[in-house]
């Protein structure tokens, strides 16, 4: 069965610091990759997605992620975080042999100090 690992459970940064959140998945075939964000008190929202093509994808609010197939990774990055980026971030994978289900990582809780 496929699985998704997010190595950092809690991250604390100061404003303007750079962010990188790790995501690794276990599946050798074709995958669709997603990052979702959950702001305090709000529902899950899609940040960005990768289906095919350019492995560097750009999402909303200045976030980007890079798909490295050889490393089974899809790390999320932002050059300069803001206090409003405080949220929980979830990496998710859909693999070709798993139908339409998304498999989520355990999430990373980011706190940005003003």
Partner 1 sequence: DTGVSQDPRHKITKRGQNVTFRCDPISEHNRLYWYRQTLGQGPEFLTYFQNEAQLEKSRLLSDRFSAERPKGSFSTLEIQRTEQGDSAMYLCASSSYGGQYEQYFGPGTRLTVT
> CB 80 → partner 1: shortest distance, Å?
26
Which residue, among 78, 77, 74, 71, has the nearest Cα to 91 in the 3D structure?
74
Dist CA 107 CA 46 (whole Å): 14
Dist CA 6 CA 24 (whole Å): 7
Nearer to partner 1, 6 or 24 (CB): 6
Task: Compute the radius of gyration of the chain from its Cα atoms.
Answer: 14
Which residue, among 82, 79, 102, has the nearest Cα to 91 in the 3D structure?
102
> CB 107 → partner 1: shortest distance, Å?
5
Nearer to partner 1, 36 or 74 (CB): 36
> CB 86 → partner 1: shortest distance, Å?
17
Which residue, among 6, 18, 25, 14, has the nearest Cα to 77 in the 3D structure?
18
> CB 3 → partner 1: shortest distance, Å?
11
**Under the rule (CB under 8 A), what is the footprint of partner 1?**
4, 6, 32, 34, 36, 42-46, 49, 51, 90, 92, 99-107
Nearer to partner 1, 76 or 105 (CB): 105
Nearer to partner 1, 65 or 105 (CB): 105
């Amino acid at each position: 069965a496929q699985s998704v690992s997010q190595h950092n459970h809690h991250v604390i940064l100061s404003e303007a610091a750079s962010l990188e959140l790790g995501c690794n998945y276990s599946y050798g075939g074709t995958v669709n990759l997603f990052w979702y964000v959950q702001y305090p008190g709000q529902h899950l929202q899609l940040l960005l997605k990768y289906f095919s093509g350019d492995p560097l994808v750009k999402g909303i609010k200045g976030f980007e992620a890079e798909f490295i197939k050889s490393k089974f990774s899809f790390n999320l990055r932002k050059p300069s975080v803001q206090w409003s980026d405080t949220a929980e971030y979830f990496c998710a994978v859909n693999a070709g042999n798993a139908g339409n289900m998304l498999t989520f990582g355990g999430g990373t809780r980011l706190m940005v100090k003003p």
